[in-house]
Amino acid sequence: GAVVSQHPSRVICKSGTSVKIECRSLDFQATTMFWYRQFPKKSLMLMATSNEGSKATYEQGVEKDKFLINHASLTLSTLTVTSAHPEDSSFYICSARFPSGDTQYFGPGTRLTVL
Amino acid sequence: ILNVEQSPQSLHVQEGDSTNFTCSFPSSNFYALHWYRWETAKSPEALFVMTLNGDEKKKGRISATLNTKEGYSYLYIKGSQPEDSATYLCALLPSGNTPLVFGKGTRLSVIA
Condensed to tens digits (0 to 9), the pLDDT of residues B50-72 reads 999 999 999 999 999 999 999 99
Distance from CA of A90 to the nearest CA of B (A): 14
DSSP letter, residue B82: G
Three-state DSSP at B100 gives: coil
Query: How does strand B10-14 pair with strand B106-111?
Result: parallel
Instruction: Give the span between the Cα atoms of B3 and B101, in whole angstroms.
Output: 8
Query: What proportion of chain A, given as a percentage, has pLDDT over 90?
Result: 71
In our burial notation (b when 16+ CB lie closer than 10 A, e otherwise), range B68-90 reads: beebbbebebeebeeebbbbbbb
Distance from CA of A83 to the nearest CA of B (A): 27
Check CB contact under 8 Å for B46 and A44: no
Asked whether residue B97 carries a pLDDT value surpassing 90, the answer given is no
**Cβ of A62 under 8 Å from any chain B Cβ?**
no
pLDDT level of residue A39 (50, 70, 90 thresholds): confident
Asked whether residue A1 carries a pLDDT value surpassing 70, the answer given is no
Q: What is the mean pLDDT of chain A?
A: 92
pLDDT digits (tens, 9 = 90+) for B72-88: 999 999 999 999 999 99
Q: Which of B88, B49, B89, B46 is nearest to B66 (CA)?
A: B49
Residue of B nearest to A39 (CA): B104
Decide if B106 contacts B8 (C-beta within 8 A): yes
Q: Pick the more confident residue, A103 or A10.
A: A10
> Average pLDDT for residues A32-43, to the nearest whole number?
88
Decide if A101 contacts B96 (C-beta within 8 A): yes
Q: Taking the CA of residue B93 as centre, how many other CA atoms within 13 Å lie in the half-sphere pointing to its CB?
A: 19
Q: Which of B18, B27, A96 is nearest to B5 (CA)?
A: B27
Query: What proportion of chain A, given as a percentage, has pLDDT over 70?
Result: 98
The torsion angles phi and psi of A21, rounded to 5 degrees, stand at -115, 130
Q: What is the mean pLDDT of chain B?
A: 94
Check CB contact under 8 Å for B104 and A42: yes
Using alpha carbons, list the distances in angstroms from residue B111 to A30, B16, B42, B73: 39, 9, 20, 25
Q: What is the pLDDT of residue A43?
A: 83
